[in-house]
Structure 1
Amino acid sequence: MASPLMGGGGGLSPIMRSDAGPPAGHMEGGTGGPSAETLRFVASIKLTNVVATVNLDCKPDLKSIALGARNAEYNPRRFPAVIMHIKEPKSAALIFSSGKMVVTGTRSETDSLQAAHKYTTIMKRLKCAANCTEFRVQNMTASCDIGFPIRLEGLVMDQPRFCSYEPELFPGLVYRMYNPKIVLLIFVSGRIIITGAKTRRDMDAALEKLHPILLEYRKMPAAPSSVPVKEGPMSAGGGGRGGVGKRKR
């Protein structure tokens, strides 16, 4: 059985255990689609950062931009780009003398593109012949919570090709998925951070594959231990209070 992470290619087969839950890729009702639980999990993704690049079609004068624009700073000894901020959509831009611009800090592709156009407009007002061309999303970061604790030790033992886990250095397990190419940080609490995606579709596809796998490593709560009840002095002997009969008059 090919690993669900390899997209049909060869590779490591997941180790099936007698105590495992539904196998990886388990579908509900035989419909060929993800289960309702998986779809709810995928829908819980929250984008936290989008990084995009833009070609300005010019060689901007960074000193002029830094002097003329609000919320802009330029210290070439520390970093070879102008750092500019805008409040709506909240973001930052790194403007390089080569004509490349990096936009970061937004929480959607639409906001990232809108921010790129706003930065370009600011530069045009400063007599810079900038245009917003070749807009491309380079990285999307998101977070979600699967809703139950995970046995990370079992996951890394069964799938070492995809996982690395060194709790002494970092509390999360690093899960490298190859199709789609995405990195996931998985914590024992069930919290997951997704990075490396270039589209929301890639994120959805990654979590649809990951969810049934993590179900196999769900950490079940320990069964409560039964403590024997010791008999007190009130329950010893005969009936009544402390086994003492009624006094005869």
Structure 2
Amino acid sequence: MQTAKVEEMEPKAEAAQVSAEFPAERKEAIPKELSLVESMGTNGIIPDIQNVVATASLGVQLDLKTVAMKARNAEYNPKRFAAVIMRIREPKTTALIFASGKIVVTGAKHEDLSRTATKKYSKIIQKCGYTDAKLNEFSVQNIVASCDVQFPVRLEALHTEHSGFCTYEPEIFPGLVYRMMSPRIVLLIFVSGKVVLTGAKVRDDTYRAFQKIYHVLSQFRKG
């Protein structure tokens, strides 16, 4: 007899749940960010959050074969990777679920949505028979953001002047890698003016890093 699959919640219902759980945060997030960036002198440019990577513990040991059999949108190939890969549609995320009960969630565009997704994965595991599974130790490990400073950058000159902080090997990778010490953020900077910021655990560090790098890049503007 075929094992019944644990169903996901309907996307509309889940969207309503997200709004219900975080109404104030979601409504206030954009105006707060706009106000912050306007005060930073970055010409109104706001880094867009592209991915939030978070970890948590479910507090139980898991039989990954059982989880993969009972849960929808789950795949498990222990010869390739020692975790169940599970996906949900709302919030659109991917989870790596380990036998230890550790879980890594990627793909959310906001910290609140990452937490909501992690709660949902926890509920799916509970429905697979692990009723003692509970969400513990949720922590954001990495926030990836991107933006465009809207002017081309002289990467060679930037590398020369800031050689202690950056690496630039265009024959290997077209972007300059800038390692900021405070806040501890790694930035990928491209000649087009595109910038990727990674390594933050709180979004304020992303904004502070962008404020600093924007004023640096302004000094190396092409043309």
Q: Same fold (TM over 0.5)?
A: yes
Residue in 1 aligned with 2:77? 75
Q: Structure 2 counterpart of 1:40, which letter? A: G
Taking the aligned partners of 1:35 and 1:56, their CA distance within structure 2 comes to 41
SS in 2 for 1:60: coil
Q: Structure 1 counterpart of 2:87, which letter? A: H
Give the root-mean-square deviation of aligned CA atoms. 1.4
Kept after mapping to 2: 8 A contact 1:34/1:208: no
Residue in 2 aligned with 1:91? 93
Give the unaligned 5+ runs of structure 1: 1-32, 221-249
Question: Which of 141, 148, 152 pairs up with 1:149?
Answer: 152
Question: Which of 46, 49, 56 pairs up with 2:48?
Answer: 46
Mapping of 1:231-242 within 5 angstroms? none
1:98 is displaced (CA, Å) by 1.0
SS in 2 for 1:130: coil
Q: Structure 2 counterpart of 1:110, which letter? A: D
Distance 1:208 1:54, change over 3 A: same
Please state which structure has a larger fraction of its residues in helix: 2
1:198 maps onto 2:193 in alignment: no
Kept after mapping to 1: 8 A contact 2:153/2:222: yes
Identity %: 53
Kept after mapping to 2: 8 A contact 1:172/1:188: yes
Taking the aligned partners of 2:100 and 2:40, their CA distance within structure 1 comes to 49
Give the unaligned 5+ runs of structure 2: 1-36
Taking the aligned partners of 2:92 and 2:156, their CA distance within structure 1 comes to 39
Taking the aligned partners of 1:197 and 1:147, their CA distance within structure 2 comes to 23
Kept after mapping to 2: 8 A contact 1:60/1:130: no
1:172 is displaced (CA, Å) by 0.3
Q: Structure 2 counterpart of 1:188, which letter? A: V
Taking the aligned partners of 1:132 and 1:35, their CA distance within structure 2 comes to 37
SS in 1 for 2:146: strand
Mapping of 1:1-249 within 5 angstroms? 37-38=41-42, 40-41=44-45, 44-128=46-130, 129-220=132-223
Taking the aligned partners of 2:65 and 2:150, their CA distance within structure 1 comes to 50
1:29-56 deviations in Å (ceiling 9; x for gaps): xxxx986642612xx2111111100011
Taking the aligned partners of 1:116 and 1:48, their CA distance within structure 2 comes to 17
SS in 2 for 1:38: coil
Taking the aligned partners of 1:209 and 1:158, their CA distance within structure 2 comes to 15
Taking the aligned partners of 1:71 and 1:36, their CA distance within structure 2 comes to 43
1:179 is displaced (CA, Å) by 0.5
Distance 1:39 1:202, change over 3 A: farther
Q: TM-score scaled to structure 1, two decimals?
A: 0.72
Q: Which has the larger radius of gyration?
A: 1
Kept after mapping to 1: 8 A contact 2:151/2:193: yes
Residue in 2 aligned with 1:6? none
Q: TM-score scaled to structure 2, two decimals?
A: 0.81
